[in-house]
């Protein structure tokens, strides 16, 4: 509760804390996508909303573009790697 003090801390959602970093680090970047034994290089385009993050990947090879996603509650984020709990998919900066 703020009680008028402009310097009082506010509660931020995970989205507001994470989204700027995700967009700056991963959006429109050359990425390595890994799922099980599948590994491919692709350009990533991120879309964030209230639900979570969608990563649209444009592979460098003959594969069709595809999208992977994860809700805010299950995202795993490292300095140069993004994944989601319960799935075996990761995108990272090579």
> Residue 1 domain-assigned?
no
pLDDT tens digit string along 42-92? 999 999 999 999 999 999 988 999 999 999 989 999 999 999 888 889 999
Asked if the model's pLDDT at residue 23 lies above 80, the reply is yes
Question: 32: which strand partners?
Answer: 41, 92
> Residue 32 domain-assigned?
yes
3-state SS, residue 23? helix
Which structural domain, as residue segments, surrounds residue 19? 14-92
Asked if the model's pLDDT at residue 26 lies above 90, the reply is yes
> Residue 4 domain-assigned?
no
Q: How many domains does the chain have?
A: 1
Counting DSSP H helices and E strands in the chain, the numbers are 1, 7
Which pair of structure tokens corresponds to residue 86?
């319960």
> Residue 64 domain-assigned?
yes
């Amino acid at each position: 509760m703020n009680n008028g003090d402009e310097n009082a801390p506010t509660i931020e959602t995970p989205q507001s804390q994470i989204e700027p970093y995700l967009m700056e680090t991963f959006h429109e970047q050359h990425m390595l996508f890994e799922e099980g034994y599948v590994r491919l290089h692709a350009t990533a385009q991120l879309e964030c909303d209230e639900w979570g993050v969608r990563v649209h990947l444009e592979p460098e090879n003959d594969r069709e573009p595809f999208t992977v996603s994860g809700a805010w509650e299950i995202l795993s984020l490292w300095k140069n790697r993004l994944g989601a709990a319960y799935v075996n998919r990761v995108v990272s900066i090579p």
